[in-house]
């Protein structure tokens, strides 16, 4: 999809799905600070004829908590518009009668309150950050290796993300660690899982080609969306600014829509 | 190689190479305790016409330190008979003019005293155990991602090993984590690297088919040795006792010499 396809392509759109971290704000300690122009961009989208949803792999906090922070930062956003991996994982676990051993951030634990966690028969990992200690990873490993049929769920598969103090390892790195330790393949819940994108499409009652995904991650946002038939565009904020200098994205260059534009610049003037 | 090949095969041997942990002793906190019969087995080998070497992926302590512990436990063993990854890594780093960022156990640090570690241009990881914190892994990641051509050395690639209190994650798990984070392939120094086995063969002046490797790890000991043309046999001590109950070894079953025998039982009565 070349630049000349705009704005014809934009006119055919019926919805936009936005990633959060790196698109609306930069991750970091302390208060959530909006990326300049992003609050206004969300307002413009909301006042247009387009449907709007938010699709994140955020797993350090419950959905109501991080949505509240975004509201404080000035965003017009509600919990029902936000799709994140933890509620999706709870649904899958309940359907399959699984009892998880959780290796997730303390802030995410309440999402799993409704599940039985005694005598675990699977492991769920999220972006646990400092809780990814040697001891905790070993505990998760021992649960898996002790199961006849080990089942590992990973809430996303990101390599790293950008915090205010630099790049930071994401859950996918620890997913790969446990996959190797136990010789298994994790089930990914969240972007870029097609099932996850489909749940957003179902909620809006739209076909993939009618929807544009905007994110800062070529693999999980842009690639994942395009794999489902959606359009995908990468912003130049968040981890984008590092991407040109690293060799992590080479397999995904095919997915790059050129030129990628910041959210608050054309072609985002819907 | 079926059981009926013994003892004909054994008569053609000119040397035996022994793994340490899981073969001579069980890993764990506190004193090194010999596996029953293993001190006598080493003595029998030493009194035979066979050459004897020890080949370990031990990277939690300097070679002189863990050899001293084995001597206290009753083993007739000297530093010059022991091959371990750290000294091999130091040679490679010096040859290539590399300055390492080290993520290794504190006990291993002195092995790298002779190297310049300012402004690192590569990362070396060993079995760092508790030092595999989120912060330390992130620090190593940031060094790698900041290099134009990131180079990662891994001292071994084991998945896990057995400690007295259960199975424990090994360095290979963290190697895979950093490989995924940075989209690179680590250079493995230690078993099962052919270069590592070749250095042992060179030291003895023997051809691969004249040498038998005995270990508890199907991938790193048995598979690695057989890949080089050596014979490989798995003991039933160490991690072997867990292997039948997990799915980690399936790709390596082809390497299994049946029946695998404990070190202190036939066909080890040379």
- Give the pLDDT band of residue B242 (cuts 50, 70, 90): low
User: What's the mean pLDDT in A242-256?
Assistant: 39
SS3 B173: helix
- B168 interaction partners in chain A (CB closer than 8 Å): 138
Interface mutation vs chain B, best among A130, A138, A179, A182, most B CBs within 10 Å: A138
Q: What is the C-alpha separation between B71 and B73, in angstroms, rounded?
A: 5
B159·A142 Cβ contact <8 A:
no
SS3 B231: strand
Query: Residue A171's closest CA among B168, B126, B134?
Result: B134
pLDDT tens digits for B29-43? 667 788 888 999 999
Closest A-chain CA to B181: A159
Q: What is the C-alpha separation between B107 and B155, in angstroms, rounded?
A: 14
Q: What is the C-alpha separation between B145 and B142, in angstroms, rounded?
A: 5
What are the backbone dihedrals phi and psi of residue A130, each rounded to the nearest 5 degrees, phi first? Answer: -60, -20
Which B residues in the span 101-140 are in contact with A, Cβ-Cβ below 8 Å? 129-135, 137-138
Scanning the structure block, which residue is given the tokens 């599940």?
Answer: A115
- Give the pLDDT band of residue B7 (cuts 50, 70, 90): low
Contact between residue A32 and residue A73 where contact means Cβ atoms under 8 Å apart: yes
Query: Residue A145's closest CA among A192, A172, A183, A96?
Result: A183
pLDDT at position A173 over 90: yes
- A181 interaction partners in chain B (CB closer than 8 Å): 159-160, 169, 173, 248
- A143 interaction partners in chain B (CB closer than 8 Å): none
Q: What is the C-alpha separation between B197 and B215, in angstroms, rounded?
A: 13
The predicted structure's pLDDT at residue A14: 95
- B137 interaction partners in chain A (CB closer than 8 Å): 132, 169, 173
User: What's the mean pLDDT in A177-196?
Assistant: 95
Which region, left, alpha or beta, applies to residue A142 given φ > 0 means left and ψ of -120 to 50 means alpha?
A: alpha
To the nearest 10 degrees (0 to 180), the angle between helices B171-182 and B134-145 is: 40
3-state secondary structure chain A: CCHHHCCHHHHCCCEEEECCECCCECECCCCCCECCCHHHHHHHHHCCCCEEEEECCCCCCCHHHHHHHHHHCCCCCCHHHEECHHHHHHHHHHHHCCCEEEECCHHHHHHHCCCCCCCCCEEEECCCHHHCCHHHHHHHHHHHHCCCCCCEEEECCCCEEEECCEEEECHHHHHHHHHHHHCCCCEEECCCCHHHHHHHHHHHCCCHHHEEEEECCHHHHHHHHHHCCCEEEECCCCCHHHHCCCCCCHHHHHHCCCCCCCCCCCCCCC
**Percent of chain B at pLDDT exceeding 70:** 84
Contact between residue A83 and residue A77 where contact means Cβ atoms under 8 Å apart: no
User: What's the mean pLDDT in B70-94?
Assistant: 94
pLDDT tens digits for B177-202? 999 999 999 999 999 999 899 989 99
The pLDDT mean for chain A works out to: 85
Q: What is the C-alpha separation between A120 and A147, in angstroms, rounded?
A: 9
The verdict on B168 touching A (C-beta cutoff 8 Å) is yes
pLDDT tens digits for A82-131? 999 999 999 899 999 999 999 999 999 999 999 999 999 999 999 999 99
- B179 interaction partners in chain A (CB closer than 8 Å): 176
Q: What is the C-alpha separation between B233 and B240, in angstroms, rounded?
A: 11
Cα torsion angle, B96, B101, B105, B111, sign: positive
pLDDT at position A28 over 80: no
Q: Say if residue A183 is exposed, middle or buried (CB neighbours under 10 Å; 0-12, 13-18, 19+).
A: middle
Overall size of chain A counted in residues: 270
Count of CB pairs separated by less than 8 Å, A with B? 106
Which DSSP string corresponds to B66-104? Answer: HHHHHHHTT----GGGEE-HHHHHHHHHHHTT--EEEES
- Tokens representing A141? 């490993």
Closest B-chain CA to A179: B173
The verdict on B160 touching A (C-beta cutoff 8 Å) is yes
**Percent of chain B at pLDDT exceeding 90:** 68
Helix locations, chain B, DSSP H = 8-11, 38-46, 63-72, 85-95, 134-145, 171-182, 194-204, 224-227, 240-243
Interface mutation vs chain A, best among B173, B174, B243, most A CBs within 10 Å: B173
Beta bridge partners of A100: A122
The predicted structure's pLDDT at residue B106: 97
The nearest CA of chain B is from the CA of A118 a distance in Å of 21
The predicted structure's pLDDT at residue A248: 38
- Geometric angle at alpha carbon A196, from A20 and A57, rounded to 5°: 30
Query: Residue B132's closest CA among A117, A90, A141?
Result: A141
pLDDT at position A190 over 60: yes
Q: How far is CA B22 from CA A59, A212, B111, B196, in A?
A: 39, 55, 23, 20
The predicted structure's pLDDT at residue B219: 86
The verdict on B246 touching A (C-beta cutoff 8 Å) is yes
- A169 interaction partners in chain B (CB closer than 8 Å): 134, 137-138, 141, 177, 181
The ipTM estimated for the assembled molecules is 0.80
Query: Residue A111's closest CA among A151, A66, A61?
Result: A61
Which A residues in the span 193-222 are in contact with B, Cβ-Cβ below 8 Å? none
The nearest CA of chain B is from the CA of A104 a distance in Å of 13
- A138 interaction partners in chain B (CB closer than 8 Å): 168-169
Q: What is the C-alpha separation between B108 and B269, in angstroms, rounded?
A: 35
Among candidates B159, B182, B247 on the partner chain, residue whose Cβ is nearest the Cβ of A180: B159
pLDDT at position A68 over 60: yes
Scanning the structure block, which residue is given the tokens 């023997």?
Answer: B206
Which region, left, alpha or beta, applies to residue B103 given φ > 0 means left and ψ of -120 to 50 means alpha?
A: beta
The pLDDT mean for chain B works out to: 85
- B130 interaction partners in chain A (CB closer than 8 Å): 134-135
pLDDT tens digits for A118-137? 999 999 999 999 999 999 99
Q: What is the pTM of this model?
A: 0.81
**Percent of chain A at pLDDT exceeding 70:** 83
User: What's the mean pLDDT in B2-21?
Assistant: 74
């Amino acid at each position: 999809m070349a630049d000349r396809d705009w704005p014809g392509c934009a006119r055919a759109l019926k919805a936009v799905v936005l990633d959060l971290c790196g698109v609306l704000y930069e991750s970091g300690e302390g208060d959530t600070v909006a990326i300049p122009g992003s609050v206004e961009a969300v307002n413009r989208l909301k006042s247009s004829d387009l449907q709007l949803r938010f699709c994140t792999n955020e797993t350090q906090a419950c959905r109501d908590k991080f949505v509240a922070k975004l509201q404080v930062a000035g965003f017009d956003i509600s919990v029902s518009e936000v799709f994140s991996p933890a509620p999706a994982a709870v649904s899958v676990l309940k359907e399959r009668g699984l009892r998880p051993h959780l290796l997730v951030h303390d802030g995410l634990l309440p999402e799993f309150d409704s599940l039985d966690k005694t005598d675990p028969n699977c492991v769920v990992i999220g972006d646990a950050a400092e809780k990814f200690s040697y001891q905790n990873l070993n505990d998760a490993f021992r649960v898996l290796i002790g199961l006849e049929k080990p089942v590992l769920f990973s809430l996303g598969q990101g390599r790293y993300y950008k915090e205010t103090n630099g790049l930071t390892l994401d859950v996918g790195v620890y997913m790969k660690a446990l996959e190797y330790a136990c010789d298994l393949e994790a089930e990914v819940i969240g972007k870029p899982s097609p099932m996850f994108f489909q749940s957003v499409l179902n909620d809006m009652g739209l076909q993939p080609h009618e929807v544009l995904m905007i994110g800062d991650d070529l693999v999980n946002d842009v690639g994942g969306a395009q794999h489902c038939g959606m359009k995908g565009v990468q912003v130049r904020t968040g981890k984008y600014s590092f991407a040109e200098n690293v060799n992590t994205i080479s397999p995904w260059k095919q997915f790059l829509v050129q030129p990628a534009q910041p959210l608050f610049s054309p072609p985002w003037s819907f």
